[in-house]
Each structure stands twice: as structure tokens, then as C-alpha cells.
Structure 1
Amino acid sequence: TTDTTEFKYFETDTHGVIRQKKLYLDPFMDLYNSEILSYRISERPNAVAIMEGLEEVIQVTNDCPFRRTFHSDQGWAYQMKAYSSKLKEHKIFQSMSRKGNCLDNSPMENFFSLLKQEIFHGEIYRSFDELKTAIDHYIYYYNNKRMKKKLNWQSPVQFRKTAQHIA
């Protein structure tokens, strides 16, 4: 599943004026273990970030023995011809949330909520790079260290590796 979320940060320009700016995160999550398989961070919502993240997640999941389904909301990025064509090219089924129903993508919304609660709310970031670095570190932590009850108290990566050994 995938979606886009926005973060605000503050930058001081050369005249000492503080300006509010935005950063956008476009992750792709595996619903099997909630692992973030691919993501892009950009200064504005754009097709390049979405398509680069899509290309990477297609490669990461290429060895999947089952039919792949990529889920999103009905945002402009996921309705692009290039996006849907790329999915068809790789025989990936496209699933989209019902209009105006955020519950259809609740795993990704939950990830965004955790991310913002754990590193963003109550913090002030003073540059794009500072916020980007915090998000990069968090995604590594989330995938490799953050235990989840539904994964038998393992991180997403630990759960995947354990399942591979059993299979």
C-alpha cells in the first residue's frame, strides 16, 4: 500500500526571515509485515518521486510467488497513466480506496500516525535535510528495531526473516 503525507518545517532565509516549508513522504508498505519497502522524500508532491518509489518497490517484490496487488487512495499520482501502465507492465493488480474513505488505507495512515507521534509532533525542524535525516532514521528503526505485537513482538524485518526460515 502507498500514500503521501506532508510535514512542515521552518527555514531561515539569508535575510533572517523564518519561512514555513513542506516536505513530502511517499512510502510503499508491505501489508504482510508492515515493512516499508521503498520510499521517496521530496520538497513538493511530484510524479518523479512516486514513479521512482514504484520502480524500486517493483524490483524489491519481483520474487513474490503470488499475484502482487498495490493499493492506494484515489489521489492524482495513482491515477497517472504512467503509474497504472507500469503496474500493468509488471502484471501487478491496482487496488484503490473508495472515494473519501481513509479507512481503506488504514495501515498506511497508522504508519504516518506513528511516525509523526514518535519523531515529529513537539519537534521543530529547521531544514529539509534535518527533517529528511530524522525520517530516514525512523524508517530504518521502524523496519529493523520497532517491535509490533501483531508480529509476535518482532520488527517487520525480523518477522519476514523468521517466516522465510520456517517456509
Structure 2
Amino acid sequence: MSVLNYLVALIDRHGFSILNKSYITYSAEFKEQAIRRVIVNHESLYSVALDLGLKSPGILFNWVRSYKENGYNVIIKPKGRPRHESQKQADQAGKSPLKARKPSLTPSELKTYYRERICKKIARLSQPKEQEPKAEEIAAAVTQLRRELKVSVTFILETINANPDLPHMSRSNYYYTINKKDKDAKNQPLMTLIRKIYEDNKHHYGYRRVAQTIQNLDIKVNHKKIQRLMTKMKLYGIRIKGWRKYNSYRGSQGPIKPDLIRRNFFSILPDRKWYSDVTEFKLNGQKTYLSPIIDGCTQEIISYTISRSPNLKQTMDMVDLAWLKNHGVEQSMSRKGNSLDDGLMEGFFGILKREMFYGFEKNFKNLTELEQAIREYIDYYNNERIKIKLKGLAPIKYRELVLS
């Protein structure tokens, strides 16, 4: 609740006169009652402050904090100017009339409150990821609770281990965990570089391509080390979803042309084998179609067209007229309905959709934004996205290497 909203609610509850009151001194009994409502009765701090007419919920927050810091005692602060050193010495000798009040909560109430706080904090460790937290996370939470509640480690661990729904930890394991040295402290510069590469490539890279990118920078590092560090930092590349066998529409077939490739997609030199196909994108009940050409050597996208209608026939007619007859290019046709015969192109479609479309549909308001994202991804794919099979280079860089 913001300060403005609180003031509006305060005026609505108590009227404008509540703001005209001068400085108010609250008694210890008044503070105890307010604190007890928050800690023991579990009432909202804001609602209690509003009900009591406090001008700010921060007043009650400070009472509760001071109450905990002083061993769950309400302390009455002395008024006026600070006392002289001699007066302080006299107070220490037992002559001060101001004494800390006795705890307002019974030992049983305090233990119940402590246990609730402990269980609530440890349970939160498992909520974001829905899996058992690591020993380091549990030990850090225990240490924090020990400082906040001023209770023993034994009490905290006994509370945790008595609850079957919470992860357990022994006393020896706790001290072993907090005292062991972080073996990756010296790897912080490398971990920073890993995160930068991971973020720059929009979380597409797994540990293999991150390792290859680092090795391309002339930094010698084992890929297993990169895998361990990425797991520790919870950095995971986008994974392939479960796939199903794809069968395209066979339709009516004209004259059958020979399959010259026979799934031997690789070429030693660029521009010797090209592959093309059409894939469909569905967004908000509308469709757009991508028809690229991929090179069998560099695996770069040579060219592509994007259309709102499936015009593969027009594209192939254009290729037939422009290239096949005038440049001695032979046409090879895969069997209809068998995507494996065009595996290189289908592989690119899978990478494309996995890394920029599947799961990201809500990022695109319309087909225009989607089509622009496809263009940007193809540029990234050609110029930046490394491939292990291409000696850890992007397709365009691999072309330059082959032709050099």
C-alpha cells in the first residue's frame, strides 16, 4: 500500500481531524497491544496501523523491529537531551529509574512464533522451482534466522527436522556447509563471461556452444567445466520439445523427378547443393509462410521469401526458369510427405521455430511483427549463431574460411 493510499484510507476511517493531531506519546501498553496483534494474532501490519490511527504504518513497523532487536522487550526511550557520562555510570550502578520491561510474550508464545517464522522461511526456499533446495541455500537461511530471532542453531534445526514437509539438515552438515570454501571463487571472471555470452544469444546457447564461443576467444577451457558452471548458475539453453513424425500433404503429383541427393546433404564447397522448402507460422488465427534456400556446405540461408499465402509452386517455377536451364543446375525432388528427404531444411525450420517462435507467440501482436522477427533471426543465424559442425563458426564465417 502506498503512502498516499494509506492516508486516504486513514482519513476515510478517522476523518480529517486525525491529521491535525500534534506529536503523540504512545504508552508501553499501547505499543504492546499493537505488536501483539501483528506477531501473535497475525494481523496485517497496515490494517493494525490504520485501525489504531497511526499516521504512518512505518511507526508500527519500527515498533516491531525494535521489539525484536531488544529481545522481545518494549523499551521506553528516555526523553530530553542525552545524559552526561557520569549519569550513565550511575545508571549502570543501578540508579536509573528507566528499566527494560519484562517480555510481553510468554516463553510458549515466543517458541510458537519462532517455529512459525522458521518453517515459513524454509518452505519458501522450495516454492519458486518446486524442488528441494540445496544445502547452501538451507544453511544460509538458518544463519539468517539465527541472527534475526537470536535463537540457537540447534533450536532451528530441530524445528526444521521435526517437519516432514521441510528439507532436513543435520548440525554437522550445517557447519560443514557454512565453513567450506567456494571452489569457484577464482572462476568469477569466467562465470561473468559465460553469462554475457548466454544473454547476448538470448538464452539459445547450451554449454557446448558457450564453450566453443569461449574457445574462439583463444581461452582454453574444458566444456565439462562450462557445463558445471552453467548448471551452478542455472543457465540452460532452450531445449527441443517432444516432436512427432511430420508428414506433409501429398496432393496430386505430376511427373516424378529423380532424388539425386539421397539424403547426402553435405557439400565440400559452397553453392554446390541448395535446398528449399516452405514452412507455416500460425498466429492469432492467421498464417504466414517462409520459403528459404539453405546451402549444403555452409548451412547459411542464401535467400528467402515471406508470404501470406503458400506459393511454393510460383517460387519453384521462378527457380526453374532462372537457374536450371540457363546455368546447368540439376533439380532433385524428394518424395512427397517424407520430410527426412529434406532433412537439412527441416532442421533449420526446427531451430528457427524453437528459438524464436514456440513459447514466444505472445511477444508478437500481429503477423507484421512476427515477419520482422523472422528476418532478424535469419540475420542472426547467418552471422552470429555458431554451429559446432562448422568448426564453431557462424555460417558466413565458415564460408569465408572455406573460400580463403
Give the AA of the match of 2:297.
Answer: Y
Task: Tell me the equivalent position of 1:139.
Answer: 378
Matched, 1:39 2:307: no
Q: What TM-score do the two structures reach when normalised by structure 1?
A: 0.71
Bigger share in helix: 2
CA offset digits 1:57-111 (Å, max 9, x no partner):
xxxxxxxxxxxxxxxxxxxxx4x5x543432232211001123321111000000
Distance 1:128 1:48, change over 3 A: farther
Task: Tell me the equivalent position of 1:59.
Answer: none
Larger Rg: 2
Matched, 1:118 2:360: no
Report the alpha carbon displacement of residue 49 of structure 1 after superposing the two structures with TM. Answer: 6.6
CA distance in 2, matches of 1:35, 1:9: 26
Task: Tell me the equivalent position of 2:368.
Answer: 129
Task: Tell me the equivalent position of 1:29.
Answer: 294
Question: Match of 1:40, SS?
Answer: strand
Question: Match of 2:297, SS?
Answer: coil
Give the conservation status (yes or no) of the 8 Å contact 1:41–1:49.
Answer: no
Bigger share in strand: 1
Question: Match of 1:6, SS?
Answer: strand
Task: Tell me the equivalent position of 1:97.
Answer: 334
Greater shift in the superposed pair: 151-160 or 39-48: 39-48
Give the AA of the match of 1:156.
Answer: P
CA offset digits 1:147-166 (Å, max 9, x no partner):
1011000000000011122x
- Unaligned stretches of 5+ residues in structure 1: 11-19, 51-77
Give the conservation status (yes or no) of the 8 Å contact 2:294–2:302.
Answer: yes
Give the conservation status (yes or no) of the 8 Å contact 1:144–1:156.
Answer: yes
Distance 1:47 1:112, change over 3 A: closer
Give the AA of the match of 2:294.
Answer: M
Question: Match of 2:331, SS?
Answer: strand
- Unaligned stretches of 5+ residues in structure 2: 1-274
CA RMSD, aligned part only? 1.7
CA distance in 2, matches of 1:23, 1:42: 6
Report the alpha carbon displacement of residue 36 of structure 1 after superposing the two structures with TM. Answer: 0.1
Task: Tell me the equivalent position of 1:70.
Answer: none
Give the AA of the match of 1:154.
Answer: L
Distance 1:149 1:47, change over 3 A: closer
Number of aligned residues: 127
Give the AA of the match of 1:164.
Answer: L
CA distance in 2, matches of 1:126, 1:49: 29
Report the alpha carbon displacement of residue 43 of structure 1 after superposing the two structures with TM. Answer: 0.5
Q: What TM-score do the two structures reach when normalised by structure 2?
A: 0.30
Give the AA of the match of 2:367.
Answer: F
Distance 1:103 1:150, change over 3 A: same
Question: Match of 1:93, SS?
Answer: coil
Identity %: 44
Give the AA of the match of 2:346.
Answer: E
